[in-house]
Amino acid sequence: MAPTPPKRAAAQLLIVISGPSGAGKDSVVRQLLQREPGLQFVVTTTARKMRAAEAHGRDYFFVSGEEFERMLASDEFIEHAEVYGEHKGIARKEVRAALQSGKDVVLRVDVQGAARIRQLYPAALLLFLTPGNENELRARLGERESETDAALERRVATAREEAQRQEEFDYVVVNQRDDLEGTVGTIQGIIRAERARMRARAKTR
């Protein structure tokens, strides 16, 4: 029998930001949290190495492969996946703490992780972030200078498959190059609209 997921309050938004590698999820979430301090972010745990601009506990919880396997064996993740050979997961205790805060909660997950969250929380708000087109995606991945040609092609192929699942999401947001503020502003507008709908539904009950 699967463990019961942490409970979400009826008036609490659970916001899931997803999309392909290279869509800019990390940058978008970082600025969204700066603009909306009332949001509670659930930090993902990963076994991959930390990048230069990242910080432990802010962007991800960075753990060893052995520690990740221990957490997995102990059923400490609400969802987990191996993405491009990198293990990532959302720890159950982190989701529970976020939901208990009473604030609207933000999760940043890959596309298959978003599907899992929707199973556990049918009322979750799912946003699909996209760079707009494949050429732009290639350019952004190439700028990382950490991808071999084979790895880049694998990510592009996966992104192509993930794009076919956009209909599973409530909103699709294009993250245009050099317009991070516009992208975050769009997401803020979506969140405010969903909050208003939630309040309206509560009044009719």
Chain segment 10-22, per-residue pLDDT in tens: 678 999 999 988 8
Annotated catalytic residues are: 51, 144, 155
What per-residue confidence (pLDDT) applies to 126? Answer: 98
Higher pLDDT, 5 or 43: 43
Dump pLDDT digits (tens) for 67-79.
Answer: 999 999 999 999 9
- The reply to whether CATH 3.90.440.10 applies to domain 14-43+103-204 is no
* Residue from 117, 134, 132, 100 nearest 169 by CA: 117
94 vs 200 pLDDT, higher one: 94
* Residue 1: pLDDT over 60: no
Please determine, for residue 50, whether its predicted confidence score (pLDDT) is greater than 60. yes
pLDDT at 2: 59
Question: What whole-number percentage of the chain has pLDDT above 70?
Answer: 95
Average pLDDT in the chain: 89
Rounded to the nearest angstrom, the gap between the alpha carbon of residue 3 and the centroid of all alpha carbons in its chain is: 22
Domain ranges of the chain: 14-43+103-204
**Angstrom distance (rounded) from CA 90 to CA 109:** 8
Residue 121 clears pLDDT 80, i.e. is over it? yes
Other C-beta atoms lying within 10 Å of the C-beta of residue 86: 13
From first CA to last CA, the distance across the chain in angstroms is 33
Q: CA-to-CA distance for 166 and 111, rounded, in angstroms?
A: 9
Predicted TM-score (pTM) above 0.75: yes
Statement: residue 137 has pLDDT above 80: no
With cut-offs at 50, 70 and 90, classify the pLDDT of residue 195.
Answer: very high
* Mean pLDDT computed over 112-139: 88
pLDDT at 167 over 90: yes
Separation between Cα atoms, residue 104 and residue 9, nearest integer Å: 10
* pLDDT at 178 (0 to 100): 86
Q: What SS3 string covers the chain?
A: CCCCCCCCCCCCCEEEEECCCCCCHHHHHHHHHHHCCCEEEECEEECCCCCCCCCECCCEEECCHHHHHHHHHCCCEEEEEEECCEEEEEEHHHHHHHHHCCCEEEEECCHHHHHHHHHHCCCCEEEEEECCCHHHHHHHHHHCCCCCHHHHHHHHHHHHHHHCCHHHCCEEEECCCCCHHHHHHHHHHHHHHHHHHHHHHHHHC
